[in-house]
Structure 1
Amino acid sequence: MSASLDDLVAMTVFARVVEAHSFSGAAARLGLSKSAVSTRVAALERRLGVRLLQRTTRRLSVTHEGARLYERCAQLLSVADEASDLLGHVGTIPEGIVRVAAPVGISLHPLASVLEKFSERYPRVHVELSVSDRHMELLAEGIDVAVRLFPQTHDRSLVERRLGTEKVLICGAPRYLDRRAPPGAPHDLTNHNCLLMKGSKWTFRTQEGPVVVPVSGSLVVDNIAVLREAALEGMGLARLPRSLIDSDLREGRLRTVLDAYAPDPLAISLLYPQRQHMPQRVRVFIDFMTEHFRKLFRGE
């Protein structure tokens, strides 16, 4: 099936809808009416014979087929953006929007300070930051770059750039540790109230090798900032990244336990869609983040 000029226009409109997460946002970016954008996407779906977007009154999401098409459309638009840069006057000055996703802990510290430095160097590049500890689908949700705290991805459509590792500590508030005997070994945690992130496992390094301790407690959350607050309130012991609680440790609001048994560190990576031609604004963002995060976390 050969793509017509109308198909190329419709694909451009579709890609902007995915990136904006809405018809109205894409319409504003393209200078079209919302109805014109909707009509273009509907015509493209009829032409291809597949549903590209799932529309509800509350949410717009991309189907599996839509995500596959967007990946190709993004490559096409990236080439067009590069051509425009070469012929225009903005080729040496990155500009535009970079959509970034990051977990709560990294966003609280140190991402905010790094983004401030990035803005100073590239004032014409605007960052749209989505902060969430849930797993986000980059292509389906129009994300250019994501900061992730887990091992290597197996998704071939994504590129992973390792930034370093983040030390993890087991800690609790003095009020909790004053009324409960601190654990002397990992398995002592079974007698403690452990505050948990949803889906996490507590693994420790011992002389016998890695040990997974079946911890449990009165609170399971999906937001690391809430987990830190619960630990500060003395609810129990929590497993938290060093950078998030550094000031709490210095000022005595939290104390660490089991320092001799190092939990597995968190691997910090940047993930971004595989593209033959990457927009300049995204490329400088990735390079800047890599440079600064590797200094912070002493990555590879």
Structure 2
Amino acid sequence: MGASLDDLVAMTVFARVVEAHSFSGAAARLGLSKSAVSTRVAALERRLGVRLLQRTTRRLSVTPEGARLYAQCAHLLSVADEASDLLGNVGTIPEGLVRVSAPVGIALHPLPSLLEKFAERYPRIQVELSVSDRRVDPVTESFDVAVRLFQYPHERSLIERRLGTEKRLICGAPAYFARRPPPATPHDLASHNCLRMRDRQWNFRLEGGSTVVPVSGTLVVDDIAVLREAALEGLGLARLPGSLVDADLREGRLVSVLDTYAADPLVISLVYPQRKHLPQRVRVFIDFMTEHFRKVFRGE
């Protein structure tokens, strides 16, 4: 038996609960009461004969069955949003939710200031930001847009816009250099405490080519903000994005070394799923971020 109109409404409500990670958040977005949202989801679970959500007093999580259903519901709602945008008037004001993924360094700078400007221009668009340094797949994880700091092989399911480049600097605090002389060449790093993000070697440019130098130290982290703090505390040397430590360098909290051997910069890209018609809210977000990221990394 096919899905009824009530089923379609219930699946819409369920998808919004998953996206908001709460019944109250979904209720606010849908303009319903929290009890109405809970009732719709419970009715859908009875209709399907499976539990879709695990509820506790502190946490709401999706069951494996719920995750499979959400993947289909998210696709359905995406198509509906595209149809709505396509049929809407050109002069309508963009509104709705844009789900964004960004690495920690970008989420610290320059994204907050850009999101503030974006909110001023598009006050009816809500941005849901997920921060992670892992490689995110916007298609399977239902993100509208993802910012990346590394180039990956071409993915046919994604469109990529290059936003700029980000230099990486080897930095240490004055307190660290009071204990050890700065390295004069990349190979001198063998005698330094190198703080890392799981990478075991750093690449550098040398005359006539490039070289890769093994590095080791007392701290390995998976968060660029923690890495910066450890460097500021004088624990060791860290390789950090230039925009993240720009103020630290200007104000003397950090000192960069081996600048003449700097490796090729990171490529910053914005990727999003291939769609025949992008929802208006996603399209204006992409256009805005593309324009303003390029200004930031050109120094404007």
Which TM-score band (shorter chain)? 0.7 to 0.9
Contact 1:20 1:142 in 2 (8 A): no
User: Residues 263 and 127 (structure 1 numbering): CA distance in 2 closer, same or farther, change over 3 Å?
Assistant: same
Q: Could you tell me how far apart the structure 1 residues matched to 2:158 and 2:62 are? A: 19
> 1:121/1:26 Cα in 2 relative to 1: closer, same or farther (>3 Å)?
closer
Paired AA for residue 296 in structure 1: V
Structure 1 residue 81 and structure 2 residue 77: aligned? no
Q: Is the 8 A contact 1:99 1:145 kept in 2?
A: yes
The AA in structure 1 aligned to 2:79 is L
Tell me by how many angstroms 1:141 deviates: 5.0
Q: Percent identity?
A: 64
1:178 and 2:181 are equivalent in the alignment: no
Partner of 1:108: 108
Quick one: distance in 1 between partners of 2:195 and 2:83? 49
The answer to whether the 8 A contact 2:202-2:215 is kept is yes
Which whole-Å CA distance do the structure 2 matches of 1:52 and 1:297 have between them? 48
TM-score (norm 1): 0.83
Residues of 2 paired with 1:29 and 1:227: CA distance? 37
Aligned 1:245-284 pairs, distance under 5 A: 245-284=245-284
Instruction: Please say if residues 171 and 255 of structure 2, whose CA atoms lie closer than 8 Å, have aligned partners that are also in contact.
Output: yes
Task: Check whether the contact 1:194–1:218 (CA below 8 A) recurs between aligned residues.
Answer: yes
53-62 or 7-16, larger mean C-alpha shift: 53-62
Query: What corresponds to 2:37 in structure 1?
Result: 34
Q: Which amino acid aligns with 1:77?
A: A
**1:69 paired residue number:** 72
Extract unaligned runs of 5+ from structure 2. Answer: none
Write out per-residue CA displacement over residues 13-62 of structure 1, whole angstroms, 9 at most, x where no aligned residue.
3432332234443344332623333235436756xxxx895646445247
Opposite residue 93 of structure 2, the aligned amino acid is: I
* Map of 1:12 onto structure 2: 12
Q: CA deviation at 1:250?
A: 1.3
1:187 pairs with 2:191: no
Aligned partners of 1:202 and 1:215 also within 8 Å? yes
CA contact (8 A) 1:18 1:142 kept: no
User: Structure 1: 5+ residue runs without aligned partners?
Assistant: none
SS in structure 2 at match of 1:217: coil
The aligned runs of 1:191-202 (5 Å cut-off) are 191-199=191-199, 201-202=201-202
SS at match of 1:220: coil
Residue type matched to 1:190 in 2?
Answer: A
Checking the alignment, whether the CA contact within 8 Å between 1:26 and 1:37 is kept in structure 2 is no
Q: Residue 291 of structure 1 aligns with which residue?
A: 291
Q: Secondary structure at the residue paired with 2:129?
A: strand
